[in-house]
Chain A
Amino acid sequence: MATQRTDILTGIIIEEETRLSLRELCDACAVHVEFITELVDEGVIEPSGFDRSHWCFSGINLRRIRTAKRLQQDLGINLAGVALALDLIDEVQQLRSQLHKLPGSGHD
């Protein structure tokens, strides 16, 4: 870990170029399979693929799942509450971005 790496690393943008399997998504978000399944049941994220063993997720879900996990852990709210909070957070972000486009709004 302490060694310095000088070779140049190339990665991929997870939100754009990637479909993640259920397993990969769990690893990337450090959550259990059950948590992802519950989020799907709650309609928080939507997989493609007709059954669970073929589920595939867009990389866009990464941020949403990590936020969901934090909300659940830190605020002790259940998944229905997490789903509502996520929708409201999205709405606030949309409003913020509208605000951001106004002249003279500067930087946040």
Chain B
Amino acid sequence: MEFKDYYEVMGVKRDATQDDIKRAYRKLARKYHPDVSKHGDAEARFKEVGEAYEVLKDPEKRTAYDQLGANWKAGQDFNAPPDWDAGFEFSGGGYTGGFGDGAGAGGFSDFFESLFGQGFQQTGGQGGFRSQGGFQARGSDHHAKVLIDLEDAMNGATRSFSLRVPKVDAQGHVTTSERILKVNIPKGVKQGQHIRLAGQGNPGMGEGKPGDLFLEIEFNPHSIYRVEGRDVYLDVPVTPWEAALGAAIKVPTPAGRVDLKIKPGAASGNKLRLKGRGIPGNPAGDLYVILDISLPAATTDKAKDIYRDMQQALDFNPRVKLGV
């Protein structure tokens, strides 16, 4: 996918103020609006400008976009770094509006979608401002996505997160301040759940209380386990003789090794449930072991002989059902 230089599209410098950007947008929107423009590619240009404005008008998205770095050139092949938006605090501004009347939303580029598509967690634009009389107001709530390991959810843990908080200064420049949070990860937390940290959102005005910070939990991909809710899935390779004759094998679980009994006649894809060995909770999740029969390679004469013996001794046609 091609990198899009939104500053170039808008014809502004990278350090342009929010006001500069707004002015540039208004001018370009007038120039390229499909109803008034005589340009042949007006609609395409109008959409392109609208998309650039979607990002640059919002201090939070703009900061996130800026941190991709200034070295990208328009048209360069680009892939969003995985979890590039993790650890970012977002308080407002969905990616709506900005297209003016008539053009409607939609038609964002793949580049835009890859950055600000489904994974980009943010709230609507209203903020949590609620006047309580006089000059006090409760601070708005913030949301941030954080990555933890499966083991943190299994055992509980204390983790430090570095959150970048974008804000606009008095001159209209976007700056980021970094904020380190040390948070207790509650044992048993599931993917997609939110931890509410009371009073850690935006400061209130006057006597108003500060808002809350909501951390959305996401798990780092694990090298061997897959997680669904509180259940944990694990593919376990077994030998043909273990599957055929039954065996006791050792399998890892997130809480340590256990012995697992395999009944004779097991097949690939068989699912064995270890009750309560998933993520703790009420009820605790289960661990599912999925058997995967692994064949020894016939690379030595001895191995080849054994396969030939089987061929002769066993009257085995796995394709009977296919009628051949």
Contacts and interface: CB of A to CB of B under 8 A. Distances in A.
B48 interface: no
B233 A14 contact: no
A54 interface: no
Contacts of B128: 26-28, 30
Interface in A3-35: 3-16, 18, 23, 26-32
Contact of B126 (A3, A30, A66, A75): A30
Given A8-B183, A97-B228, A103-B235, A1 B124 contact: no
B252 interface: no
Contact of A76 (B96, B122, B192): B96
Contacts of B95: 73-74
**Interface size band for A:** 35 or more
Contacts of B183: 8-11
Contact of A59 (B122, B140, B194, B211): B194
The number of chain B residues touching the other chain, given as a range, is: 35 or more
A23 B130 CA distance: 10
Interface stretch (B6-14, B59-67, B172-180, B310-318): B172-180
Given A30-B126, A107-B221, A4 B226 contact: no
Nearest to B220: A107
A30 B92 contact: yes
Given A5-B180, A74-B94, A18 B196 contact: yes
Max count, chain B CB within 10 A of own CB: residue among A5, A8, A9, A32: A9
B124 A100 contact: no
Given A18-B196, A62-B214, A104-B292, 6 more contacts: A11-B197, A13-B196, A30-B92, A30-B127, A76-B105, A97-B229
Interface of B: 91-92, 94-97, 104-106, 121-128, 130, 138, 140-141, 143, 158, 165, 167, 177-184, 186, 189-190, 192-198, 200, 211-212, 214-215, 221-222, 226, 228-229, 233, 235, 268-269, 288, 290, 292
Interface of A: 1-16, 18, 23, 26-32, 59, 62-63, 66, 69-70, 73-76, 97, 100-101, 103-107
